[in-house]
Chains A and B, each alone.
Chain A
Amino acid sequence: MTGPGRSNNRRTEEQATPRMLVFACKWCGLIGADGAGKKRIPLPASFRVIPVECASLVEPDAVIRALASGISGVAVLGCHLGGCRFNHANHAAMKRLELLKTLLDAVGIGGKRLLLAFGTAHEDHQYAEVINAFFEELKALPSTAPWMY
């Protein structure tokens, strides 16, 4: 039903509002998201947030599933390096996910589809900046529709 040769309409539609999945750690990540909410900073509606206890709970497996299901990009928001309340668990997470980025590049999916923001989105305006900037990046990338079959 889907596959190469689909109509160009889907491609434009998707690029206009790329779909983003955000894994936000319940501490720094969600505090930033909450702050943006309280300030009522307008953001595009095509992203979904999954709160996690710690960024280290985000399995590379889950990132790949998300991308394979047609989601354009995945963002992982964690605490500052050195500020994780689970004793530097986020360090391991960052290393792992950085490696995943390299892998995504190597297989042609593109490491740019995985955004890692450790400690840079804990304030409201920073969260909004990170989400908006990621949306812009994803708009510039080709559609993921051909992968869904």
Chain B
Amino acid sequence: MKNSLPVLIIGGGVAGISAALDIADAGRAVFLVENSPNLGGQVAKLDKLYPTDHCAFCPLWTDIKRLKEHHLITVHTSTEVKELRSIEGRLHAMIVKNPPAIDASRCVFCGKCERECSQKAIRPAGEHVYPPVCRVDLDVCNHCAACVTICPTAAINFQRAVETIELNIDHVVWASGFKEVDLTPLKEFGFGTHPDIMTSLEFEEWTAEAEINKGDIITKLNRSVPRNIAFIQCAGARDERMLPYCSAVCCMHAFKQAKWIKRRNPAIHCVIFYTDLRTVGRDYYEYSREEIGGSPIRLIRGRPSLIYPLPGGDGIAVKFENTETQKRDIWKFDMVVLNGNLRSSLEWTDQEKLDSPALTEEGFVNPKSDGMSRFSCGFSMEPSDVAESAVQAASVAAGVLIAKREG
């Protein structure tokens, strides 16, 4: 019976998880596939979220646990959707699972493999991955299989077959989130010319409490404490050369990062170079106005024309015009954070294989096109933050449930 076929949700981030739970709570079966080994998507990797200023892991963890324990949801990580076809009015999907060497269901996280490995190829999966598991970095591994022998639960197997699963489904929900676009072609940003010119996601990881620097704000160049940090908004976005649209989340993201810098080290000066400060959303404007650490975040309206490393390792120059005073200047910064270069992870590929939906010119799922593209939520539909993605996911769930009911 058509109505009893599962729904395929592509993407295990905030949007995908929310949609899966909403559909399954209403009694329908869900298949959720995620191409990375971890659930939680980009948001789980963030140090903090706005506007709560709390860690990204905790709120997601509850939902991830519910997702995994739900009797109507089947989760496949390290899995890609290879094909999606409409055959005689039915949707047919082929998903390919590339299981990691260490089986998470058998791993007890004892750490024997990590200690045994001579190449240091084995490490814990990540600070906040639940349940905790170790991962093998295949690039470093020399295939000695010492870990296989030492593992007390026989959780390690390098010969795991790639699994191909064929599914008959009745609906697809695209929730594949965003990825970064390489900013190297836009030479004015100087991306790649200095270790301390980095994208906001790199900066997030570099300064995360759970990562190597334990939340300390230091430069990559010589691990010293920076005196000032520049945030460049709309890097790559609202730009006809690259992404014509606004990535929606970056203004708030910059405020969040700048405020956390001020919390951890009030002496660091933060400057945000912006075009429009988009603080649309519950409590966002007030969040952006909150002063921390005794000195405000400096806001300069202007898109820098050139960012370049100064000779002798003496910092980074940012050349800009303050459009509100019409003054041009060059300021020196110790770190520069570029914000804006986010696009949907979906790419336009061969229509024949139908493994990606119809996309708008700007790369988002076009809901007005065929049945397979009808349901999408999160960044794959439209640049959105956590709250908006959750709403879109719930709305998509409603659409799917109604479509199932009405046949």
A binds B: yes
Check A125–B214 contact: CB distance below 8 A.
yes
Check B55–A122 contact: CB distance below 8 A.
yes
| A82: chain B residues within 8 A (beta carbon) | 52-54
Check A123–B214 contact: CB distance below 8 A.
yes
A131 at the interface (CB under 8 A from B): no
Chain A, 104-128, CB within 8 A of any chain B CB: 119, 122-126
A83 at the interface (CB under 8 A from B): yes
| Smallest Cβ-Cβ distance to B132: which chain A residue | A38
| A122: chain B residues within 8 A (beta carbon) | 55, 58
Contact of A123 among B52, B54, B62, B210 (CB under 8 A): B210
A54 to chain B, nearest CB (A): 13
A129 to chain B, nearest CB (A): 10
Check A83–B214 contact: CB distance below 8 A.
no
Chain A, 78-101, CB within 8 A of any chain B CB: 79-80, 82-83, 85
| B54: chain A residues within 8 A (beta carbon) | 80, 82-83, 119
Contact of B209 among A31, A79, A85, A126 (CB under 8 A): A126
| B55: chain A residues within 8 A (beta carbon) | 122
Chain A, 59-94, CB within 8 A of any chain B CB: 79-80, 82-83, 85
| Smallest Cβ-Cβ distance to B208: which chain A residue | A123
Per-position binary interface string of chain B over residues 213-228, scored 1 when its CB falls under 8 Å from any chain A CB and 0 otherwise:
0110000000000000
| B210: chain A residues within 8 A (beta carbon) | 35, 123-124
| B214: chain A residues within 8 A (beta carbon) | 123, 125
B127 at the interface (CB under 8 A from A): yes
Chain A interface residue count: which class? Answer: 10 to 19
Given contacts A123-B210, A125-B214, A126-B209, contact A85 B52 (CB under 8 A): no
A21 at the interface (CB under 8 A from B): no
Per-position binary interface string of chain B over residues 32-64, scored 1 when its CB falls under 8 Å from any chain A CB and 0 otherwise:
000000000000000000001111011000100
Bound CA–CA A57/B215 (angstroms): 30
Interface of B is mostly: loop
| Smallest Cβ-Cβ distance to A129: which chain B residue | B214
Per-position binary interface string of chain A over residues 20-35, scored 1 when its CB falls under 8 Å from any chain B CB and 0 otherwise:
0000000110010001
| Smallest Cβ-Cβ distance to B127: which chain A residue | A35
Per-position binary interface string of chain B over residues 194-215, scored 1 when its CB falls under 8 Å from any chain A CB and 0 otherwise:
0000000000000001100011
| B209: chain A residues within 8 A (beta carbon) | 123, 126
Bound CA–CA A122/B47 (angstroms): 12
Bound CA–CA A38/B127 (angstroms): 9
| B62: chain A residues within 8 A (beta carbon) | 85
| Smallest Cβ-Cβ distance to B47: which chain A residue | A123
A143 to chain B, nearest CB (A): 34
Bound CA–CA A31/B59 (angstroms): 13
| Smallest Cβ-Cβ distance to A27: which chain B residue | B58
A78 to chain B, nearest CB (A): 12
B109 at the interface (CB under 8 A from A): yes
B244 at the interface (CB under 8 A from A): no
| Smallest Cβ-Cβ distance to A39: which chain B residue | B124
Check B58–A31 contact: CB distance below 8 A.
yes
| A83: chain B residues within 8 A (beta carbon) | 52, 54, 58
B292 to chain A, nearest CB (A): 15
- Sample (6) of A-B pairs whose CB atoms are under 8 Å apart: A38-B124, A38-B132, A82-B53, A123-B127, A123-B209, A123-B210
CB-based closest 6 A-B pairs? A83-B54, A123-B209, A80-B54, A125-B214, A123-B210, A38-B132
